[in-house]
Amino acid sequence: MDAIVTAGGIPLPEDPLYSYTEGHSKAMLAIAGKPMIQWVLDALSASKSVDNVIIIGMTENSGVTCSKPVHYLPSEGRMLANIVAGVHKSLELDSKTEYVLIVSSDIPALSGEMVDWLVGEVDKDPGDIHYGVIPRAVMEKRFPDSRRTWTHLKGLDVCGADINVTHIRMATEHLETWEELIGKRKSPLKQAATIGLGTLLLLVLRRLTLDDLVRRVSKQIGIRGKAVVWPWAEAGMDVDKPHQLEIMRADLARLSTESAPP
């Protein structure tokens, strides 16, 4: 399976991370001695399931490395357009491609083991979209100060993972709906309203289970959606704010020290 890494984001002055990036790529923020994206590429290098890596929004001159074949594409400006471009590149590399990994460049704690686990979950139960969620208990046990945005379900709070799997047909179908949902990805309630007022009401009242929500979204869009419940927090620990950057700098510096030879 090919991995499409989205790395085109450059924080604007109103972005909380602008003072750290100062007009440069967010993916290149330094974390424990490496650019943030390098940690993600190291995880993809360690994965047994990844064939090619397609990086959107960077060039060969970035200085990052990966043991898998790497292909660079310019940013299209919008996340969905970047994903579509990545899917087309994957099909160019192998016309028989069915699924691709969509990986954000800002989840530096990801590991190869986690990538392989996700691909295994897809193999067990194929669908059109495999969207990962992390239960609040899992996230807060690993990163108690993460301050994620939670979707409140019946008996369960979850946040989204930033590595997911999609069938390549999703790059040509339902694009208007995907554009709207991606644009509202930081607000679960706005996303629910896009699906329908009934879904929004049930979500506000916390009467939807995770399975209920998946069924409603799948029916409304006309896809076979699958929820992947992660046992690890790292897939959802993306770096959006300064305190999250500092959490990851401290965490990965500690892990690097612990894994260093004596």
| Rounded alpha-carbon distances, angstroms, from residue 165 to 67, 185, 260 | 21, 16, 33
Kindly report the average pLDDT of the chain as a whole number.
Answer: 90
> What is the rounded CA–CA span in Å between residue 81 and residue 262?
47
Superfamily of domain 2-252: Spore Coat Polysaccharide Biosynthesis Protein SpsA; Chain A (3.90.550.10)
Least confident of 10-19, 80-89, 194-203, 228-237: 194-203
Residue 130 has pLDDT above 60, yes or no: yes
Residue 202 has pLDDT above 80, yes or no: no
Residue 61 is classified by DSSP as: G
Confidence (pLDDT) at 256: 82
**CA contacts within 13 A on the Cβ side of 84:** 15
Query: How does residue 104 score in pLDDT terms, banded at 50, 70 and 90?
Result: very high
Q: Which residues contact 58 (CB under 8 A, 6 or more apart)?
A: 7, 8, 25, 27, 37, 64, 72
pLDDT in tens, 154-193: 999 999 999 999 999 888 877 776 666 666 566 666 666 6
Q: What are φ and ψ of residue 152, in 5° steps?
A: -95, 110
Residue 168: how many other CB atoms lie within 10 Å: 18
pTM: 0.91
Percent of the chain with pLDDT over 90: 70
Q: Where are the domains of the chain?
A: 2-252
Residue 12 has pLDDT above 80, yes or no: yes
Query: How does residue 208 score in pLDDT terms, banded at 50, 70 and 90?
Result: confident
pLDDT in tens, 53-76: 999 999 999 999 999 999 999 998
Residue 219: how many other CB atoms lie within 10 Å: 12
The helix or strand, by DSSP H or E, that contains position 245, with its residue range, turns out to be helix 242-259
Q: What is the mean pLDDT of residues 108-120?
A: 98
Query: How does residue 200 score in pLDDT terms, banded at 50, 70 and 90?
Result: low
Can you list the pairs that 205-209 forms with residues at least 24 positions away whose Cβ atoms lie under 8 Å? 206/152, 206/153, 206/154, 207/154, 208/153, 208/154, 209/153, 209/154, 209/155, 209/156
pLDDT in tens, 214-253: 888 888 888 898 999 999 999 999 999 999 999 999 999 9
Confidence (pLDDT) at 4: 97
What is the per-residue DSSP string for 7-39?
------TTSTTHHHHTTS-GGG-EETTEEHHHH
Task: Decide: helix, strand or coil at residue 113.
Answer: helix
For the record, the structure tokens of 200 come out as 């929004």
Confidence (pLDDT) at 258: 78
